[in-house]
Amino acid sequence: MSERPAPNVLIVCKDLMFSSQLNGAVQRAGLVPQTCLGQKTAEASLAQHEIQWVIVDLEMEKLDLPKLRELTDCKLIGFGPHVHTERLESAQQAGFDAVLSRGQISSGLDQILISGLPSS
């Protein structure tokens, strides 16, 4: 019986259908996902595992984006509907490495994880 590998990508998202799609993209990139349904479970996983990427659904309530940034130096990607400009901007101000629309993340997450974020 083989031991399950530790996660190296956290997906903070309560939308189980969408998080399933993101899990598939993470696996296609050769990484191990873990879905967290809130900030507390994400914080616990950050303390417990060597996480490389955190993917955050900015539509979730009660997220402390600056605290997430403080807790880790891994790559942080926030995503949300392109019409929610205030939430997207708050992630940028909190120091997220990338802020994407739902469409951008659903069509390109695996490529981002394989190639890395473009330099700005």
Taken in order of first residue, the domains within the chain and their CATH numbers are 9-115 (3.40.50.2300)
Structure-model confidence comparison of residues 117 and 69, the more confident one: 69
CA separation for the pair 117, 2 (Å, rounded): 32
Per the prediction, the chain carries an average pLDDT of: 92
pLDDT for position 51: 95
pLDDT for position 83: 87
The structure's pTM equals 0.92
